[in-house]
A and B are shown apart, each in its own frame.
Chain A
Amino acid sequence: AQSVTQLGSHVSVSEGALVLLRCNYSSSVPPYLFWYVQYPNQGLQLLLKYTTGATLVKGINGFEAEFKKSETSFHLTKPSAHMSDAAEYFCAVSRLSGGYQKVTFGTGTKLQVIP
């Protein structure tokens, strides 16, 4: 079984401030972890993913996330928020099931950037 918990359905930050979106996962096997971003009225697109190897993963638009096995976390960060970062962010975990990946998404965190 696997699950994802995103802490905070809404997060507000000032433009230029640190962005921190929290994600904790539960998985019975080594997880593959993703962050997807959804801009208003659009589909989701991949921001970054952790599969194996380096635990600090860099993504698009200056975002990065660190896989911490001991804390079962995969928090998303960006040093300085930009107005264009306003969107909804989804954490996801996947594992193999019958040879194919089974993906579970979190409930999402809406990021508001205040000018």
Chain B
Amino acid sequence: NAGVTQTPKFQVLKTGQSMTLQCAQDMNHEYMSWYRQDPGMGLRLIHYSVGAGITDQGEVPNGYNVSRSTTEDFPLRLLSAAPSQTSVYFCASSYGQGTGNTIYFGEGSWLTVV
């Protein structure tokens, strides 16, 4: 049972480059999201999706783009990388409606922008 799988694990980008962080889940979860984790700031929500074809902005969406063409996949695109986007990125999924649902996280992607 793979759960939430995200790739790559590590990436170094030059300022201005673009890239896509891949995320897939095999639990048939409606709700998927991307967080970034920075020291002393906890996890901040970038974008989320409540189902295929439906996405919305979170707390820190600028510089990122997402799409949700299938239930399983939720890629995160960095349009033009900036040093401020150096962070650890986590993809997560959970059952859709209601609250109190457990969130399942991927292993993380360490991104450095130089």
Which of A42, A90, A101 touches B43 (beta carbons < 8 Å)?
A90
From residue A79, how far is it (CB to closest CB) to chain B in Å?
Answer: 25
A95 CB to closest chain B CB (Å) equals: 6
Expressed in whole angstroms, the minimum distance between the Cβ of B1 and any Cβ of chain A is: 14
CB-CB contacts below 8 Å: B40-63 with A = 40-43, 45, 50
Q: Which residues of B contact A108 (CB under 8 A)?
A: 42
Instruction: Report yes or no: B99 in contact with A90, Cβ–Cβ below 8 A.
Output: no
A residues in contact with B90, CB < 8 Å: 43-44
Number of residues on chain B facing chain A (CB within 8 A): 23
- Contact residues in A for B102 (Cβ distance below 8 Å): 34, 46, 49
Which of chain B's residues have a CB closer than 8 A to the CB of A49? 100, 102
CA distance A51 to B45 in the complex (A): 22
* Min C-beta distance of A102 to chain B, whole Å: 8
Known pairs A42-B108, A43-B108, A45-B105; A51 contacts B100 (CB<8 A): yes
> Do B105 and A43 have beta carbons less than 8 Å apart?
yes
A106 contacts across to B, CB distance below 8 A: 42
Question: Which A42-61 residues sit within 8 Å CB-CB of chain B?
Answer: 42-46, 49, 51
Q: Is the CB of B101 within 8 A of A101?
A: yes
Closest B residue to A93 by beta carbon equals B99
Contact of A9 with B by CB under 8 A: yes
Contact of A107 among B40, B94, B97, B101 (CB under 8 A): B40
A42: which of B92, B94, B107 is its contact (CB, 8 Å)? Answer: B107
Q: List A residues 65-109 near B (Cβ within 8 Å).
A: 90, 94-96, 99-103, 105-108
Q: Is A28 an interface residue (CB 8 A)?
A: no
Contacts of A43 in B (CB 8 A): 4, 90, 92, 105-108
* Distance from B16 Cβ to chain A, minimum over Cβ atoms (Å): 28
Question: Which A residue sits closest to B30, measured CB to CB?
Answer: A100
